[in-house]
Amino acid sequence: VKRIWQWKDQYEKRILGQLSELGCSCDWQRTRFTLDPICARAVRTTFFKMFKDGLIYRGKRLVNWDTQLQTAVADDEIYHETIKGSFWTFRYPVKGSNEFIRFSTTRPETMLGDTAVAVHPDDERYKHLIGKMATIPLVHRDIPIIADGQLVDPTLGTGAVKVTLAHDPNDYACGLRHGLPMINILNPDGTINENGGPYAGLDRLQARQRVIQDMEKLGLFDGCEDRDIDLAHSDRSKTPIEPYLSDQWFVKMADLAQTAMDAVTDGRVKFFPERYARTYLDWLGEKRDWCISRQLWWGHRIPIWYSHCPENQLKHAFAGRDDVTWRLDEDNGRWLICALADLPNDILGPKYPLEQDADVLDTWFSSALWPHSTLGWPEHTPELAYWYPTNVLVTSRDIITLWVARMVMTGLYNIGKVPFHHVYIHPKILDGFGETMSKTKGNGIDPLDIIERYGADALRFLMVHQATETQDSKMPVANVCPHCDTLVPIKQEHMYMRTRKVTCPSCKKPFRPGGPWPAPDPELPTAKQASERFDMGRNFANKLWNAARFLFLNLEGYKPEAIHYEELPIEDRWILSRLATTTATVTQHLENYR
């Protein structure tokens, strides 16, 4: 954790330096970080308030699980890829008969956690089997054959669906409708747990092959076909996501989401371009509870303590305190104690030591409070009174759901006002190959390289010149050979820092491509980045500079006076009228984010 803080300080300084070099007119005395004491207090207060209002709860739910990082991942932090996969077909024996029920699956290892087989209630092929039991021979478990018209489409595959509540969201919903048990077969690292019987300890992909082989030996394997499969991946680790039954903390979204939706539908918050309001409303309209716990080292630790003490002990220890509240965790028979400040472990006496929850909050929980936490809330500060709500939020479409919606939601919950009135969604600057710039790909552009070569005004002008109302634009850059200053085009294989060495076509000397390398290479100098496109910005800035310099040279001794339009020649009046028209047009476009 100490190293993480060092990393934070190092890159905070670098980011602020880049913003300063760009010429951003920030108040550098008012920087904020979501783990600052001011922001941390707002996080604690919001969690406490939501917990007390019954909006925050702990429950066993199906979450997106990253087996590499061993943490829950939000729906908005995953991406989907279509891969070449397989569709295996198997049979389960129907108990007390010579019949079998056939089903297909892309994840045979999850058969170890099946708790039912579902068929459509109107499917004549299976009506006589509804209510009977099928046997999973690999773990010797009998499971019911149920009728479910929501889960099963009788025209797809065999018309029968294996139901694994703990490892599939659709199966989970089906299981809740039918009151089926949940059997989790995975450990946090993706290996099979004790519920997998003889497969316990195997990696899930190894278990998959063993299950297929064993079912084939039993004569219960009916074939396999190739199929394109849509597979979710973690945006951070790039590993496939596993639906996973886990104890997590959630925020109830129904009422909070509705208030945030109302703010847009009644016009208190407006999107520019207007179509992005649909992204906001569609996501909030699902009203899915928000998983806010993460199994990480870094972040705001969840302010919950556990105890199995009698309730009288709590009442005695916290008598007269309004900064502590508690309720019973009925699943585990323990008290969930929430406090605005850290509690000593021995506050209930040596017989009942407290244990704090080990998880941290989703980073978007603290980010959702940004418009008011940075201004000193929950205190009624002059800054909060003056600056909240603000006029406009400028952001990217990628975080409308992750950030914009949640800022509106928490602003209304904590203060009763929207945090901003306008949301301007700007297009993105992509790399030269049309891909989003990211640290992982190593395809970002260091603005300091551009400023050093062309100047800050050149960079800023080109960004404005390239920007359109909605269309993303590409920004191809080249490596500047550190030996001879030749611009060497960047190739796509240089991304993800896969290429350690490039040879300059002019001087034939090697160098390391520009990019976010974690450490310098003593053997190879690293190239800076450049693009001939910035010459346009530099040339334009030079023209403005020369024009201004010429003007100032000819204004010596000039004393400005009020203009009497009727005394001006018609040419001057025409120039002033054009200036007034241009000023009005530009002002109108700026006000409408054009």
Whether 509 is in a domain gets the answer yes
The answer to whether residue 486 scores a pLDDT higher than 90 is yes
Could you tell me if 160 and 228 lie in one domain?
yes
Q: How confident is the model at residue 566 (pLDDT cuts 50, 70, 90)?
A: confident
Q: How confident is the model at residue 497 (pLDDT cuts 50, 70, 90)?
A: low
Radius of gyration (C-alpha) of the chain in whole angstroms: 31
List, in sequence order, every beta strand (DSSP E) within 390-482: 390-396, 420-426, 429-431, 473-475, 478-480
Q: How confident is the model at residue 496 (pLDDT cuts 50, 70, 90)?
A: low
Could you tell me if 230 and 139 lie in one domain?
yes
Can you give the pLDDT at residue 562? 86
Could you tell me if 100 and 145 lie in one domain?
yes
Can you give the pLDDT at residue 366? 97
Whether 47 is in a domain gets the answer yes
CA–CA dist 115, 127 (Å, integer)? 19
Count of domains forming the chain: 5
Percent of the chain with pLDDT over 90: 78
Whether 545 is in a domain gets the answer no
Residue 341 phi, psi (nearest 5): -125, 160
- For range 127-131, the mean pLDDT: 96
Domain-ending residue, one of 394, 426, 458 = 426
Whether 386 is in a domain gets the answer yes
Burial of residue 561 (CB within 10 Å: 0-12, 13-18, 19+) is: exposed
Q: How confident is the model at residue 495 (pLDDT cuts 50, 70, 90)?
A: low
CA–CA dist 122, 64 (Å, integer)? 33
Percent of the chain with pLDDT over 70: 98
Nearest to 79 by CA among 217, 320, 240, 197: 240
CB-based contact 427:399 (threshold 8 Å): no
Whether 594 is in a domain gets the answer no
Could you tell me if 225 and 131 lie in one domain?
yes
Tokens at residue 160, please?
């029968």
- DSSP letter at 99 equals -
List the domain range (segments joined by +) for residue 18. Answer: 1-31
Can you give the pLDDT at residue 484? 97
Domain-ending residue, one of 486, 518, 536 = 536
Can you give the pLDDT at residue 362? 94
CATH number at residue 124: 3.90.740.10
Nearest to 481 by CA among 461, 462, 508: 508
Q: How confident is the model at residue 518 (pLDDT cuts 50, 70, 90)?
A: low
Burial of residue 337 (CB within 10 Å: 0-12, 13-18, 19+) is: buried
Residues in the chain: 594
The answer to whether residue 233 scores a pLDDT higher than 80 is yes
CA–CA dist 100, 294 (Å, integer)? 43
Could you tell me if 250 and 375 lie in one domain?
yes
Could you tell me if 270 and 403 lie in one domain?
yes
Could you tell me if 110 and 18 lie in one domain?
no
Could you tell me if 216 and 251 lie in one domain?
no
Whether 434 is in a domain gets the answer no
Domain-ending residue, one of 339, 355, 371 = 355
pLDDT tens digit sequence for 52-104:
999 999 988 888 999 999 998 887 788 888 989 999 999 999 999 999 999 99
Whether 556 is in a domain gets the answer no
Nearest to 151 by CA among 135, 170, 133, 136: 170
Could you tell me if 223 and 102 lie in one domain?
yes
Residue 289 phi, psi (nearest 5): -60, 145
Whether 136 is in a domain gets the answer yes
Could you tell me if 299 and 311 lie in one domain?
no
Q: How confident is the model at residue 297 (pLDDT cuts 50, 70, 90)?
A: confident
DSSP string computed for 223-275: EEEEEEEEEEEETTT-PBEEEEEEEEEEE--HHHHHHHHHHHHTTSSEEESTT
Could you tell me if 125 and 261 lie in one domain?
no
Could you tell me if 262 and 363 lie in one domain?
yes
